[in-house]
A and B are shown apart, each in its own frame.
Chain A
Amino acid sequence: MNKRFFIGIAISLVFYGVVQALISGEILNDFYIDTLVMLGVNIILAVSLNLINGFTGQFSIGHAGFMSIGAYVSAIMTTNLGYSFPLGLLCGCLAAAVAGLIIGFPTLRLKGDYLAIATLGFGEIIRIVWLNNDYVGGAAGLNGIERVTNWSWIFFGVLVAVVVIQNIVKSTHGRAMISVRENEIAAEAMGINVTKYKVIAFVVGAFFAGMAGAFSAHYFYGIAPTSYNFMKSFEILVFVVLGGLGSTAGTIIGTILLTLLFTYLQDIPEWRMVIYSMILILTMIFRPKGLLGNVDVTKFFKKGGASKNGGTTTTP
């Protein structure tokens, strides 16, 4: 286990080096870098939401709210207050985690659909707070944010998010979370502190959503409240569900497929959302467990050797 973990890390570092070399050699142009950043941000969002929804079974659709906190807090730190990006990033993540804690607690009593709509409500409230705050530009948002995020930041961000979440999931703490998802009453009867694990899932999930927010804010120059409405939360949820809830590899693959699809449909902007929604509906009807439902991709990779698992399937 120990060994596989480090081999995975080593392979992904090679992947990182190759891409970095391609970027330095100007073989990959801006379009590709944009796509890589988008992919990275979306993977962090999806993998972190998967901890809450997929593993712990807490139906949350307010992830864009946590993302916005990371984006705004980091941007305030760097742009309004002049601190460095790493500090801004850290504060963004922590602020989002605190929001996860605050939202996690009261909503813990809720289950299923009710929890879903409460998180949706929280997400919207966060957005409305930004919207009504002149310090952060109101509806226009914050502009003139310096572009700091680059391939290195994104790569290591994804790596940290995936490794941390996988390390949680593949441990007694992860099993406790999954047991909560599988049968909350039985989990509690087996001595699992259900509240504690739900809160951990929310806090860790929010932390990384904040990270994704900070990265995207510091790549696309500006942020505005509308980018973080419940549509965005749905979008993240779709990444997770399409790949397969409760499977990190599935989530990552689902995210990559959808993000690429989105990028390639850019030429027909009017139709791309139509196609996107059709794919979503058809997937749900014909593969309700997600594209990779019931297929354990990690096994798949193990057998085929380490042929092409890039920076994403690092951990067992």
Chain B
Amino acid sequence: MTFDYIVQQLINGISIGSIYALIALGYTMVYGIIKLINFAHGDVFFVGAYTGYFTAKAGLGLILSLIIAMAVCALLGVIIERLAYRPLRNAARIVILITAIGVSFLLENLGIVTLGAQAQGFPDIVNKSTYTLWGDVTIDSIQLIVLVVTVVLMAVLQYVVHRTKIGKAMRAVSFDMEAARLMGINVDTTISATFAIGSALAGAAGVVFAIMYPSVDPLMGVIPGLKAFVAAVLGGIGIIPGALVGGLLLGVVETGVQSIPGMSLWRDGVAFAILILILIFKPTGLFGKNVREKV
């Protein structure tokens, strides 16, 4: 295994990891604010991919496709929260979790009914070209796009969370919902905004994922959704930078395992093995603080 080979795998890992990170952000933000593992999040990702598919077919370019997909997903996220989760805000955790599973099933199967279970090829909206960095190390235009999209969205997210009023409200609500309410923060609006932002990121991830693989199908969100969730846990669920690091790390490890001859089929197993090791040895993730129940 040469140095070049390793660097190449690293590049490949980072680009898939960026997608995990984008999805993981939504999981983490929602968990941070209402302590819900939003299992439907992976399906928002698929809706984003399909939106991109239709806009691309209609002849719109990458940027417009991304923006429209993000808007559609933001709206979808808000609607899901409004209709399915808000009525259950004070219900037992398991009830909301199961509702999330129900929403996930619903989106997937509505997708199958309306769009067909068949995978569709994604139209070419970027010219695929490969650039040689040095020796055998290459990066292609799609990987570059993935990286650029991730970096830009992360920067915007950082700005929103730390510099805007809604971002401050989000942090306050996730710290202590009751206290935030008493301080006059509109909790419902804040939660809606969290869903909108998280879902928009998943929508963007869906579009770039679809460009990378180039195909879309209604169940495409299941596995990346689950992986992204692992990434969120790995970084410490509820912690925004954790989701980024977790996603990148998972992408790199996975690509690494896949590149070992004879191990490629174990790629998905690795994600779950990491998940369990993390949960057992550091359940709050790499960046999480331990919180113990007070007696």
Contacts and interface: CB of A to CB of B under 8 A. Distances in A.
Q: Do A and B come from one complex?
A: yes
Interface stretch (A11-19, A252-260, A278-286, A307-315): A278-286
A284 B102 contact: yes
A82 interface: no
Interface in B109-141: 109-110, 112-113
A110 B283 CA distance: 8
Given A113-B37, A124-B272, A273-B109, A238 B283 contact: no
Contacts of B102: 238, 277-278, 280-281, 284
B113 A270 contact: yes
B113 A118 contact: no
Q: What DSSP secondary structure best describes chain A's contact surface?
A: helix
Contacts of B96: 284
Q: How large is the interface on A (under 10, 10 to 19, 20 to 34, 35 or more residues)?
A: 35 or more
Interface in A150-206: 185
A128 interface: yes
Contacts of A234: 101, 105
Contacts, number: 117
Contacts of A278: 102, 106
Interface string B249-273: 0000000000000000110110011
Interface in A112-169: 112-114, 116-118, 121-122, 124-125, 128-129, 131-132
B279 A284 contact: no
B279 A277 contact: no
A208 interface: no
Contacts of B104: 277
A207 interface: no
Nearest to A274: B109
A79 B102 CA distance: 37
A241 interface: yes
B154 interface: no
B269 A271 contact: no
Interface residues of B, number: 42
Contact of A128 (B92, B97, B230, B269): B269
A288 interface: yes
Contacts of A110: 279-280, 283
Interface string A83-125: 0000000000000000000000011011011101110011011
A274 B106 contact: yes
Given A274-B109, A280-B102, 20 more contacts: A106-B280, A110-B283, A116-B37, A117-B275, A118-B275, A118-B276, A125-B269, A132-B266, A234-B105, A237-B98, A237-B101, A270-B109, A273-B112, A274-B106, A274-B113, A278-B102, A278-B106, A284-B91, A284-B96, A288-B95
Interface of B: 35, 37, 84, 87-88, 91-99, 101-106, 108-110, 112-113, 226, 229-230, 233, 265-266, 268-269, 272-273, 275-276, 279-280, 283, 293, 295
